[in-house]
């Protein structure tokens, strides 16, 4: 009686996740710090999912996010991988450069300080 060994299983890899890199987080957290100092924002959350990374901004801890900063690499060649989404789900700004997209929130900071 001969035994055959089963074929080797392919190595199991963890599902890929989209994440913000250090430079992107530096830009986002710089804006976040200025908005906290102005008293506009109080908390944040970061989600790294398979297709999108999301930085959510909260006015209070137990609320829904007032803004979501999303990174979707699949849209890089089309309208841009960065998006700022408002509380109601409306896209406020979309583009290829993170700093340019975040300007829509910078304007809100200028209004809050004035």
Q: What is the pLDDT along the chain (114 residues), one digit of tens a residue?
A: 566 777 777 766 555 788 888 999 999 999 999 998 988 888 999 999 889 999 999 987 667 889 999 998 888 888 888 999 998 889 999 999 999 999 998 876 555 555
Is 2 inside a domain boundary? no
What pTM value is reported for the model? 0.77
Q: Report yes or no on 10 lying in a domain.
A: no
Q: Assess if residue 12 is contained within a domain.
A: no
Q: pLDDT value at position 52?
A: 92
- For residue 25, what pLDDT is reported? 93
| Full residue range of the structural domain in which residue 65 is found | 22-113
Provide the CA 1 distance to its chain's centre, in angstroms: 59
Q: State the pLDDT at residue 61.
A: 67
Q: In this structure, is residue 11 part of a structural domain?
A: no
Beta pairing partners, 53: 48, 71
pLDDT at 12: 60
pLDDT of residue 93: 92
15 within some domain:
no
Q: What is the DSSP letter of 71?
A: E
Specify if 9 maps to a domain.
Answer: no
If one counts the domains in the chain, the total is 1
Pair 91, 72: CB distance under 8 Å: no
In a domain, 53, yes or no: yes
Whether 71 is covered by a domain: the verdict is: yes
């Amino acid at each position: 009686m001969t035994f055959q060994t089963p074929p080797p299983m392919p190595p199991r890899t963890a599902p890929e996740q989209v994440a913000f890199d250090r430079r992107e987080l530096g830009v986002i957290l710089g804006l976040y710090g200025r908005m906290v100092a102005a008293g506009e924002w109080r908390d944040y959350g970061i989600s790294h999912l398979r297709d999108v990374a999301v930085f959510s901004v909260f006015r209070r801890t137990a609320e829904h996010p007032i803004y979501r900063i999303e990174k979707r690499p699949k849209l890089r060649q089309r309208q841009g991988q960065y998006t700022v989404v408002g509380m109601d789900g409306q896209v406020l700004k979309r583009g290829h450069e993170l700093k340019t997209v975040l300007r829509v929130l910078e304007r809100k900071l200028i209004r809050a300080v004035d």
